[in-house]
Chains A and B, each alone.
Chain A
Amino acid sequence: MATATGTRLFGAPEKRREDPRFITGRGQYVDDVKLPGMTHAAFVRSPHAHARLKRVDAAPARAVPGVVAVYTALDLKVGALPCGWMLPNIKVPPRPALASGKVRYVGEPVAVVVGETAYAAKDGAEAVRVEYEALPGVSDPRKAHDKGAPQLFDDIPQNQCFYWTIGDKTATEAAFKSAAKVVAQPLRNQRLIPNAIEPRACVASYAPGTGDLTLWVTSQNPHVHRLLMAAFILGIPETKMRVIAPDVGGGFGSKIFVYNEEVVAAWASKALARPVKWTAERRESFLNDAHGRDHVTEVEMAFDRGGKITGLRVKTHANLGAYLSTFAPLIPSYLYGPLLSGVYRIPAIFCEVWGMLTTTAPVDAYRGAGRPEATYLLERTMDRAADDLGVDPAELRRQNLILPFTSGTPYQTPVAFAYDSGNYEPALNRALELSGYAKARREQEEGRKRGRYIGIGVSTYIEACGPAPSAVAGSLGAGAGLWESGQVRVHPTGAVTVYTGSHSHGQGHETTFAQLVADQLGIPMAQVEIVHGDTAQIPFGMGTYGSRSACVGGSAILMSLDKVKAKGRKIAAHLLEANEQDLVFEGGKWSVKGSPGKAKTWGEVSLMAYLAHNLPQGMEPGLEATSFFDPPNFTFPFGAHVAVVEVDAETGQTKLLKYVAVDDVGRVINPMIVDGMVHGGIAQGVGQALWEHGVYSDDGQLLAATMMDYALPKADQLPSYETERTVTPSPVNPLGIKGAGETGTIAATPTVANAVIDALAPFGIAHIDMPLTPDKIWKAVTAARK
C-alpha cells in the first residue's frame, strides 16, 4: 500500500473551492431544477397515527383547476420500499410507497396529487376526501411491547420486529455476582428529528422516447438510490435510470434513505410522460424524514473495590417507528452494542435490544447513529458511578482507560469490535487542561456557597467510522458492500478529473479530494476537478455516511493515483531512456537521480500517454485508473470533551459557558474543514442534551412538527468552542485517516448532560432524562427543595 506524502497541500487549511457558488446564491439544489413541462406533486398524508383506510375519494381533487392527476395505492404499480439490513429472525413489515389498507403513522402518504403548479397540487391535495376508521396508537417502544398494546401488523406479535444480543451473558452475570459495587440507571435517549436546512426534494423525468428515467434527488448516496429504486421498487434496468444528487443542503443521515415521495414521483413521471417535482414543506420533513435515536434503556455497571469496571449490562427497547426505513435495523444493533466498551477496559458486556414497531415515523441513522446512544449511556453511567463511588469523574475515567495501542495490533473488545489504534489518555488530559478543569472545580465549590450552580461535564467517546469491511458487513446482514470507488482520469494536458463515489452535502470534498490529488501529483489544485453525485458520470459508489468519505473514498482515489503514477513512471523512464528505479517523482516531474536536469513533467508524460507516438513497447495509450477500496476494518476516532455550564436554579435555564473538544480523527487533510465539522457536531449534540425532542403523544400524534415546536440550536444559545486534536493515525487505510463527521454529535450530548446534572448535585439530583429543558430542571429543583 502506498502512503501519502506529508507535503504542503495535505494538511493545509485551504479555502473551499465550492464556496464561491454558495455565497453568491448560485448553488444548484434539487428545488432549483426546472424542466420544460414540469408538474408538481403534493401528498395527502394521514392525520391519524393508526387507522383503517376505508375510502379515498379523488374526484373532488380532480375537479380542482390545475390538477393533472391523482393517484392512490390502487393506481401505483411499484414494489414495497425495501429494507437493506437484515438481522437474525427479523420480521420485516411491507412498507408501501402509498398507504394501503391501514395507515400506521401521522404523515404517512396516502395519495398524491400532481398539478401544473405546486399551488394547484396543494389545492388538489386539500380536496381529496379520505375516510379513516381510527385505531388506538402507541408511540412508546416499551408500551408497544405490552400484551394488549395496539398491534401494527397482524403477523408481528407484540410489535417486536427483532430481538438481538451481543456479548457474553454468562461472563457478565458472573461479573455482577462478584461486584463490589453496582450502579444502575434507567434512561431515555429521546427521539430527534434531523432537520437538514434543505428540505428533501426530487425531480423525476421520464423520457418516453428512450425509456430513460432521470431522478434529481436530495441523496447522500445516488447509486444506492438507483439500485434500490430500479431493482427493487420500479423494476426497471439500472441502465435506464440516472440519479443525480446535485448540491445537497445537509443530510446528517436523513438523506441516505429511499423514501415514498421519490418513488411516487418517478412512477408518476412515467405515467404522465412529464417531469414531476416534489419539495418537502418543513412540516413534511418533520413527519416523514427518518427520525433518530429513541431508546428506552436500563444500564447496570459493575465495579470492583478499586473502582475498576468489571461488567456492563444493557437492556434497550429501540423504537423503529411504523416501518423499517432503509437501514433501520443496523442502527440499534451493530452500530450500538459493539460500541459499549467505549475507551474503557470492560471485561464482560452483555447487551439485549428489542427492536419495536410503534405508530410513529420510521427511525434510522441520524448523525452518529447508534454510537451516540452507546456513548450517552456509558458516559452518563460513568458520572453516576463517580458520584456513588465518591471519586472525581475524570479520574474514574482515567483509571479505566484502555492502555495505548498504536503499533498496528488492534484492541479486542468483548463486543466484536477490534479497535484499529488508540491512545486515549493524552486527549483526556489535554481536554482537562484546556478547560481549566481543576480551576473550574474550585469555582464550582465557591459558587455553590453563594447559590451559583456551575456544572462541569466530562465525556470520552469512541466511534466506529469508515464502514466497512464488506465481507464483515455482509456477515452481519448488510444488503450492500461498503467499499468506495475512485476513478482518476488524466487529460492530455495533465489536468485530472476525479470521479468519486463519495457524495458531498457540506463536507467540502471538492476541496479536500483536490488537495489530496494535487499533493500526490505535484500539480496545482486548479488542474484538478472533482466529480460526484451523478450515476451517469461516476463509477458505482456507496456514498457518504458514517464518516467514511476521506478514509474510504479518499483511499480509493489514492489507489487510482498510484496506478496512474506507476504508468506515468514507465512512460517517463522510456522517454528519458532511464531505468524506472532511477527516477524520482517530485514537484510534478520525474527526474533521473543524480542528474536533475534530465526530467519529464507530469504534463509531458500525460501528453505522450495520449499522443502515443513514443510509448514503451506493448503499452496501451491513455492514462486513467479506477479503484475500489474495501477497508480491512472500521476506523475508531476518539477523544474527550469538557463542558462548563451554569444553571439558574430559579428558572431552570442552562447557560453553556465553555466547551472544549479534543478529538483524534487520525490524519487530517484540511484542518479548517475538520474543525468546522466538529463545531457543527457539537451544536447538534448540545441540541439533544438541552433542547431537541421529537415529542409524540402516547397515542402517536407528533407534537413537535414545526420549527416552532422543535427547538433547534440557535446562535445566541451557543458559545464559541475550543477545539484541538491529538493524532493517532489509523493503520487500516493508506491515508491514516479515522474520520471526523460525527465526533462532535457523539461526545457533546453526554458532556453537556453530565455538566447540567453536575450543576444540580447540591440538590441531590442524580439524573434527569434529556432534553434538559428549563421546565424539567425547574421541576426537579423545586421537588428537591420540598
Chain B
Amino acid sequence: MTLPVKMTINGTNYRHEVEPRMLLVHYIREVVGLTGTHVGCDTSQCGACTIILNGQAVKACNVFAVQADGAQIMTIEGLAKNGQLHPIQEGFWEKHGLQCGFCTPGMIMAVYQLLERYPKPTEAQIRHQLEGNLCRCTGYHNIVKAVQYAAEKMAGR
C-alpha cells in the first residue's frame, strides 16, 4: 500500500507515493535525493537528522513521511541563499565547529532554531539547547563558539 504525499522542501514542491511506514528522513534522502540530512541513531538521540519542519527543529528519523504531508521543510541544503553561506554555517567554518562533518547538518539546523529562541544566547543556553544533538569529534567547545559567532553576526545585520 502507498499513500500520496506532497511537501515543499527548500522551496521546491514534491509529490510522491510512499509506503505509510516510510520515515521522513528516508523520504528526504532516498526519494527526494537530498543526502545532507544524515541518519546517526534511528532512535532520536543523536540529532544528525534534524530539519526544520513548519518552523520547528525536528528529528526526521522519528516522523513518518505521511505525517509531513503538506509541510514546509528546510534542510541543510536550503540554508545558504544564492551561494551566500548563512551566518551559522559561517560560524561553524570560522570557529572550527566541525571535524568529520557527519553531525554538522543536524547541528546547524538545531542552531537555527536555537537562535530564533535565543538571539543572544548565554553559553549555558547554547549547551542546553544542543543537548539533543550529539557530536563525537569536537567535545562541543568550538560548536559553542560557532553559535556565539553566528549570534553576533546575525545581531549585527
Contact = CB atoms under 8 A, between A and B. Distances in A.
Given A22-B104, A197-B46, A250 B127 contact: no
A20 interface: yes
A25 B33 CA distance: 12
B65 interface: no
B32 interface: no
Nearest to A712: B134
Contacts of A584: none
Contacts of A195: 136
| Contact-residue bracket for chain B | 35 or more
Given A282-B40, A683-B140, A707-B41, A198 B100 contact: yes
B96 A676 contact: yes
Main secondary structure of the interface of B (DSSP, over half): loop
Given A25-B34, A29-B38, A197-B48, A250 B99 contact: yes
B141 A32 contact: no
Interface string B12-31: 00000001011000100100
A588 B37 CA distance: 42
Contact of A23 (B43, B75, B104, B135): B104
A708 B45 contact: yes
Contacts of B123: 720
Contacts of B143: 715
A744 B141 CA distance: 13
B144 interface: yes
B58 interface: no
B99 A25 contact: no
Contacts of B34: 25
Given A706-B43, A715-B127, A25 B36 contact: yes
B137 interface: yes
B127 A716 contact: yes
A45 interface: no
A17 B99 CA distance: 11
B126 A23 contact: no
Interface in A150-190: none
Interface string A1-35: 00000000000000110111111111111011010
B45 to A, nearest CB: 4
Contacts of A247: 100-101
B3 interface: no
B142 interface: yes
Interface string A652-678: 000000000000000000001101110
| Contact-residue bracket for chain A | 35 or more
A637 interface: no
A196 B145 CA distance: 22
B144 A249 contact: no
B38 A198 contact: yes
Interface in B66-90: 75-77, 79-80, 85, 89
A291 to B, nearest CB: 15
Nearest to B138: A680
Contacts of A713: 139-140
A119 interface: yes
Interface string B100-121: 1111110010000000000000
A708 B43 contact: yes
Interface stretch (A450-458, A503-511, A518-526, A619-627): A503-511
A481 to B, nearest CB: 27
Interface in A260-299: 279, 281-283
B94 interface: yes
A394 to B, nearest CB: 24
Given A196-B136, A720-B123, A19 B98 contact: yes
Interface of B: 19, 21-22, 26, 29, 33-43, 45-46, 48, 75-77, 79-80, 85, 89, 92-94, 96, 98-105, 108, 123-124, 126-128, 130-131, 133-144
17 contacts: A23-B98, A23-B101, A32-B29, A32-B35, A196-B100, A197-B102, A199-B39, A250-B102, A505-B100, A676-B137, A684-B136, A713-B139, A715-B126, A715-B130, A715-B135, A716-B124, A720-B144
Closest 3 CB pairs of A and B: A25-B36, A249-B102, A22-B101
Interface of A: 15-16, 18-29, 31-32, 34, 118-119, 195-199, 247-250, 252, 279, 281-283, 505-508, 672-673, 675-677, 679-684, 706-708, 712-718, 720-721, 744
Given A24-B36, A676-B137, 11 more contacts: A23-B108, A32-B29, A250-B136, A282-B43, A506-B100, A507-B99, A676-B138, A681-B139, A683-B139, A707-B134, A715-B143
